[in-house]
Structure 1
């Protein structure tokens, strides 16, 4: 039963990657990005407004950091995913997104002083090659000639932004309940995305897109983060993070069924290499350089 929490969260997020692709042509990226957080904020407010006001003396010194987290993790990351979905496949998006644990590990080594391990080094190389195989459609020479697909580039930048968000979250360790942190970041996303929403073209909510907005809002923005937090509390962060490795596999399966996306050989090869690299980095924890024993004086 304890494994149901991380599995449910990953299943929802994989489905959300496919929802991003389904939204193409039925609602503009700026619209679904704004509506998603606006609705989440409206649903959260009756439960979270009073606790946040009561805890404001603790929150106020950290407003700047909360704003940065909200921009990176909520506004920028998800909005860029919606734009990326117009130019690349859900399968590609899922495989690129699976690089996130590797990026977080790399940033933790640089900014948090975490020790570099053999698994982290060789896993990073293997995952990087795997993603190159995917984004080049199996032709690395073609990648050198034509460069990256714009959608894949956007997805890489979005993944990098969320990895930075996760690293800062770990580094700052803000003394706030997770539910209040989530609510405040949702409010930041609403404020930041509002000008973009006003200036962008709109089709409005309709029977064709309301289901996508509700999925992104209720399931991906509210239920999945809370279920993931519960998983971390029950299983611990290390064991929980392993379930994130299932994201590209589940995304590819859902995309194949719902979007009729074809799985090519390069998806299987690149996806396997990326997944193997992430698992290698998490399981092979031997320090790259062993510390020298202290000399006897």
Structure 2
């Protein structure tokens, strides 16, 4: 490893900056491909590229842990369906109906859905500051979804794409809760590798059927570059950078950098897609971030966090 690479690999904040940038770009790419590549096929291409790269560089690790994988196949199947396939597939579907900024902002609410699901699924207690954070952030979500219109809120008129993205967030929250069961049993690389391979196999027949009804649009240099971006940077690069940063500074400080994802998403969406940021986005985003800050007010020494370790996410 040369000096520059070594310096970057041991600079946690730089790694986190790039990881959040890659995930922010994922939402923009989803919006970019919304009229070109249908969601099942886009998910298949993304997973296929990342799975091929993983096989080339981590084949020995995957073979070594095959016995453990067989014993936990049902759990890995659940993780593949909810996190590796479900989250990205539904997020790509949402991109047909809503802005890239909305996708990345709603994605940042994952910690609160995790808390709610943990309460029902794992019987974990809800703390007062977390309950306050959920209320504040959820009000921000409603503000974005109704574009700041009280009339739309009263009449329950929401953007369909935003509702779809919330379903994607629920899928990722389920994944994030159950992925903890693999801690100490399966290495993160093997978990990511096998769930990606399984997801690729599951998506092949669904993508084939989809293409019978929704053919691909024109693919040029920009489109191929975008597909490579999806398969490499948010799928593998961000995952490796995030996990390295966790080892260097711990999840408490690292998790704060997830708040940069919607900011990167907004900047990239403006530059690449020409999306405009409205006052509703600013107010809603401020409420969401306020809720996140409220939820962080606890003892960092206990390392109790609402944000779990992403693995191949479209933070987006």
Asked whether the two chains share a fold, i.e. TM above 0.5, the reply is yes
Matches within 5 A, 1:25-44: 25-44=35-54
Distance in 1 between the 2:141 and 2:67 partners? 45
Kindly provide the CA deviation profile for residues 136-166 of structure 1, in whole angstroms up to 9, marking residues without a partner as x: 0001321342532221111000011101111
List gaps (5 residues or longer) in structure 1: 286-297
Which one of 125, 129, 147 corresponds to residue 135 of structure 2? Answer: 125
2:196 paired with 1:182: no
Distance in 2 between the 1:176 and 1:122 partners? 35
2:248 paired with 1:234: yes
Q: Is the 8 A contact 1:118 1:281 kept in 2?
A: no
In structure 2, the residue matched to 1:289 is none
2:216 paired with 1:203: yes
Distance in 2 between the 1:110 and 1:8 partners? 34
2:64 paired with 1:54: yes
TM-score, length of structure 1 as denominator length: 0.90
Residue 250 of structure 1 and its aligned partner are, at CA, apart by 1.8
Q: Is the 8 A contact 2:12 2:244 kept in 1?
A: no
Residue 46 of structure 1 and its aligned partner are, at CA, apart by 2.3
In structure 2, the residue matched to 1:224 is 238
Matched positions, count: 286
2:73 paired with 1:63: yes
Matches within 5 A, 1:87-106: 87-106=97-116
Distance 1:142 1:265, change over 3 A: same
Distance in 2 between the 1:246 and 1:51 partners? 32
TM-score, length of structure 2 as denominator length: 0.85
Runs of 4+ in structure 1 displaced over 3 angstroms? 108-115
In structure 2, the residue matched to 1:159 is 169
In structure 2, the residue matched to 1:270 is 284
In structure 2, the residue matched to 1:212 is 226
Kindly provide the CA deviation profile for residues 113-154 of structure 1, in whole angstroms up to 9, marking residues without a partner as x: 544222101000000000000000001321342532221111
**What SS class does the counterpart of residue 261 from structure 1 fall into?**
coil
Q: Is the 8 A contact 1:99 1:274 kept in 2?
A: yes
Kindly provide the CA deviation profile for residues 270-291 of structure 1, in whole angstroms up to 9, marking residues without a partner as x: 1000111012112256xxxxxx
Kindly provide the CA deviation profile for residues 12-67 of structure 1, in whole angstroms up to 9, marking residues without a partner as x: 00011111111122222222111111111112112333322222222211111011
In structure 1, the residue matched to 2:25 is 15
Larger Rg: 1
Distance in 2 between the 1:192 and 1:141 partners? 43
CA RMSD of aligned residues (A): 1.9
